[in-house]
Amino acid sequence: MKVKVLYFAGLREQVGSSSEELELPAGVSTLAGLRSHLVARGGVWQSALAETRLVRMAVNQQMAQAASAIRSGDEVAFFPPVTGG
């Protein structure tokens, strides 16, 4: 399946990308799965998205948890804890 992935703030700067279109392998069906898939790229992906990093995630512009399902066509976002207001 295909998903759009967005990166924001410090995380965007670390991976050097603000958005990409991804074709996911069959086994990836949750946010946790997608994150592992990206970490497996190694390098900046591994360091920016490592399990030990506080990363917030959203699916279709709604805050979501690691176990949340993702479906073809979804807009997924990774970002640091928010600091607005």
Partner 1 sequence: MKILVQREDFDVGAEIRALAGHARIGAVASFIGLVRDLNDGSAVATMTLEHYPGMTEKAIEGIVAQAKGRWEVLDCTVIHRFGELKPADQIVLVAVASGHRGDAFAACEFIMDYLKTRAPFWKKEQTPQGARWVEARATDDEAAGRWQRKEPGAA
Which residues sit at the interface with partner 1, rule CB under 8 A?
Answer: 6, 8-10, 54, 58, 61-63, 77, 79-85
Q: What angle do CA 38, 9, 76 make, to 5 degrees?
A: 45
Q: Least CB distance from residue 64 to partner 1, whole Å?
A: 11
Can you read off the two tokens belonging to residue 27? 């086994």
Q: Least CB distance from residue 40 to partner 1, whole Å?
A: 25
Q: Enumerate the H helices of 1-85 as residue ranges.
A: 9-15, 31-39, 43-49
Q: Which is nearer to partner 1, 18 or 40 (CB)?
A: 18
Q: Least CB distance from residue 37 to partner 1, whole Å?
A: 22
Can you read off the two tokens belonging to residue 81? 């804890």
